[in-house]
Structure 1
Amino acid sequence: MTQLEFAALAWGGSLAAGFLGSLSGLGGGVVIVPMLVLGLHVDVHYAIGASLISVIGTSAGAQAAHRQEGFSNTRLGLFLEIATTLGAICGAFLSASTPTKWIAILFGGVLLYSASSSMGSRKQDTTGRAPDALAAKLRLVGSYPHEGKLLPYSARRVPLGFGLMFGAGTLSGLLGIGSGAVKVLVLDGAMQIPFKVSTATSNFMIGVTAVASAGVYLRRGYINPAVAMPVTIGVLLGSLLGARVLQTARVRPMRIIFAIVIALLGAEMIFNGLTGKLS
């Protein structure tokens, strides 16, 4: 395969990954790594490095659109990034001493979990309640547009959410993903943030988390511009398109398709890790 053919395939796959990742809030990283490793036979560490760079692009593209529409809560995201950034740095250092096959198996497990969460039913948004004392003190509140009016909301169970975000950041640094599935679940489930706000805020947070991990991978020489450039450009364009479509499209069918794809990729990653094909 020539370099041009590789770049074209990586760009096309990344475009689709960024689009679907932006729609679901899971981030395109869950597709980028297995696509590069299984489809284009890139070493898993270089695939993770490219994925981290692309996650930064995903976040920047999606954040611009979500912020304009009034869904992303930047203050809440930055507060929780204290935990995820610390976790991301820990995960990035752990990756150097973790065998490739175990990274593949763990990554496959995260993919299967993400697929299950993506297809699971979501609770109705609960808004207008009095904020928790800690959330009010930290001003972790906001409002989002819905049917022509602004609905207020407040974060709940802040200490629990903060602790869970450290785990999400560790996954990001270890596996080269934005761990958007975990972030959305923490925001939507544990902290009871409305789902569209959770999705938009997660897309913002995954980029900040990835920056912390990417520095470690760059220092170790695991970021190859020939791999990272087409992936980042594709994901950036896809995330911009996905963020625009999210406002009006029916997300449920896209979520189901995305869940099926990452479940198949997750099963293949686990199989290849167990059989030693990625060792």
Structure 2
Amino acid sequence: MLNTVLILLGVGLMAGILGAILGIGGGMIITPILTLAMGLDIKYAIGASIIAVIATSSGATIAYLKDEMLNLRVAMFLEIATSVGAIIGALLTGIAPTNVLFMLFGALLVFSSYNMIRKLRGKSDAKTNAEDDQLSEKLKLSGTYYDKAEAKQVDYHVKNVPGGFTMMFGAGFASGLLGIGSGAFKVIAMDTIMKMPLKPSSATSNLMMGVTAAASATVYFFNGSIRPDIAAPLAIGILAGATIGSRIMQRLKPRVIRMIFIPIILFMGVQMVLKGFGVNFG
């Protein structure tokens, strides 16, 4: 029993650190370990994963808020699209062709990883020369943060708000219909489409994931999918990991974060495409 608790604490710590740095929640780390390595029923693994996302969001968001790294206006605006998409996706469960959607969203992740590889050649992650579009200006979505790795203040503008909003709707739709985490899509929407720097994109994604997961956690709680003996040690490890990860992220250069992020979303994309063709894992 003690060994299991220590393992869960360790898994939570690792998932919290990576989740806070990349803005992806940590569910993709926790679920495979709980099911494949520990032999846990997928139902309880998913329930624990939901708690993990909330814990990662809570631990990281506190630090990011304190350091003014996340963009609250962007988060609240885009969360509208994500929530509506998740509701519609959940309502269409069993109706829409999920195999086709897995392939489409997987292909999108693969393409996004290719775009991020191209960005590695750029000299700067900050979009200081870009200008707000009209909608961004009206909603006052532009922001500023202090980059500790570069030791300078970075002012950035937000572009293509409709495109980012549409991407967020798709992320919520995929999450509700396919039961997948949408953190990677959130980061891509802000970083690639809306031209926000990667650091505030990741920080803002952490906040948004917690809001989305909190809504679905109630359902998992009442259907008995959340086991306290599994979720509690995981959450403790994740809270500690997320706090550490949020500090590490601010000391990393955007290029390094991108180099960590690319293989993860590439793996997720390939996995989703294969799942669309009927190849399942675990």
Normalising by structure 1, report the TM-score.
0.80
Unaligned segments of structure 1, at least 5 residues: none
Q: Is the 8 A contact 1:173 1:213 kept in 2?
A: no
Correspondence 1:150 to 2:153:
yes
Displacement of 1:213 = 2.0
Counterpart residue number, 1:60: 58
Q: Is the 8 A contact 1:127 1:152 kept in 2?
A: yes
Cα distance between partner residues in 2 of 1:194 and 1:79: 18
Distance 1:226 1:89, change over 3 A: farther
Counterpart residue number, 1:162: 165
Counterpart residue number, 1:51: 49
Counterpart residue number, 2:135: 134
Cα distance between partner residues in 1 of 2:264 and 2:195: 28
Cα distance between partner residues in 2 of 1:211 and 1:235: 16
- Match runs of 1:104-119 below 5 Å: 106=102, 113=109, 117=113
Unaligned segments of structure 2, at least 5 residues: none
Correspondence 1:120 to 2:120:
no
Q: Is the 8 A contact 1:34 1:265 kept in 2?
A: no
Cα distance between partner residues in 1 of 2:256 and 2:162: 34
Report the aligned-residue RMSD: 3.5
Correspondence 1:199 to 2:194:
no
Task: Please say which of residues 165-174 and 205-214 is displaced more in the overlay.
Answer: 165-174
- Match runs of 1:204-215 below 5 Å: 204-215=207-218
Displacement of 1:155 = 1.7
Cα distance between partner residues in 2 of 1:11 and 1:111: 34
Cα distance between partner residues in 2 of 1:112 and 1:21: 21
Q: Is the 8 A contact 1:129 1:154 kept in 2?
A: yes
SS at match of 1:143: strand
Aligned residues: 269
Counterpart residue number, 2:7: 9
SS at match of 1:247: helix
Normalising by structure 2, report the TM-score.
0.79
Q: For residue 145 of structure 2, what is the amino acid of its counterpart?
A: Y
Displacement of 1:24 = 2.1
Cα distance between partner residues in 1 of 2:233 and 2:68: 30
SS at match of 2:153: strand
Cα distance between partner residues in 2 of 1:238 and 1:115: 30
Q: Percent identity?
A: 44
Measured against aligned partners, the alpha-carbon deviations of 1:159-211 in whole angstroms (never above 9, x if no partner) come to: 11111101212333456554221111100111111111111111111111111
Cα distance between partner residues in 2 of 1:29 and 1:275: 20
Counterpart residue number, 1:72: 70
Cα distance between partner residues in 1 of 2:2 and 2:231: 14
Distance 1:216 1:190, change over 3 A: same
Measured against aligned partners, the alpha-carbon deviations of 1:115-144 in whole angstroms (never above 9, x if no partner) come to: 973973435331243321111111112112
SS at match of 1:72: coil
